[in-house]
Amino acid sequence: MIGIIYLASGFARRFGSNKLFYPIEGKEMYRFGLDILMDLCREKISGQEIKLHVVTQYAEIMEECRRRKVAYTQNTMAEEGIAASVRLGVLAFPDADWFLFLPADQPGITKETMISFIKAVLSQPKTMASVYCENKPGNPTMFHSSYRQALLSLKGDKGGRKIMKASPENVFWYPISFEEIVDIDQPAEIIK
C-alpha cells in the first residue's frame, strides 16, 4: 500500500495571506491537489492500493476532509516546521510499503504525472524518489517504508530531503514539467 500524505499546514509567510485558500480559476489552491489525490485513491497502481491522509492545521481544510470523508490529522505543531507534518503523516500509515508526500501549494500537478511517477518508482530498485525539473528537485517525493524511522526522527523545518542528501545513491529522479513542479510562494508565481 502507498500512503499519500498531503501536506497542508504551511503558514505561507512569503505569500502575504494564506495561499492554500487563494482562489485560482475559482477554486482554492489546496483543492487542486486534494481533488487529484482523492481520484488517485480509486486506482490500483502496479498492484499497490493507494490511500490518502491530509495533515493540516486549518479548520476549513479539516471540515472539507470531513465533508468528503478523507482521513486527516490536525497538526497542532505546525510552528515547528515541515518535520511535524511529515511525522504525523507517517504515523497515519503504520502498514504502508511506501510514503508519498505532496504539498498543497502545487496546483499544477496532474493525475497523469502522479500515476507515471508512482509506476516509475515501483519499477526500479531504488528506495527513495523525487521529481525534478531542470536540475531542480521538487515534489512529490516517495520513501520506502524502510525509511519510516528516519522520517519519524526529522525535526524542525527539515523534511525528507535531508534523508535523500544523506544517501543520494538511493534516490531515483523522475523528470516533470515546470508547470507541474512549481510550488507557489508568491501570487506572481501562479501560472494556471
User: What is the share, in percent, of the chain residues with pLDDT greater than 90?
Assistant: 78
Q: Residue 19 has what pLDDT?
A: 79
Q: In this structure, how many other beta carbons lie within 10 angstroms of the beta carbon of residue 174?
A: 19
Query: What is the band of 76 on the pLDDT scale with cuts at 50, 70, 90?
Result: very high
Q: What does each C-alpha distance from 172 to 128, 141, 144, 167 come to in angstroms?
A: 6, 10, 12, 11
Q: Residue 186 has what pLDDT?
A: 53
The tens digit of pLDDT for each residue in 143-169 reads 999 999 999 999 998 899 999 999 999
- Rounded to 5°, angle at Cα 79 from 23 and 55: 55
Strands (E), 57-127: 71-74, 98-103
Least confident of 26-40, 50-64, 106-120, 172-186: 172-186
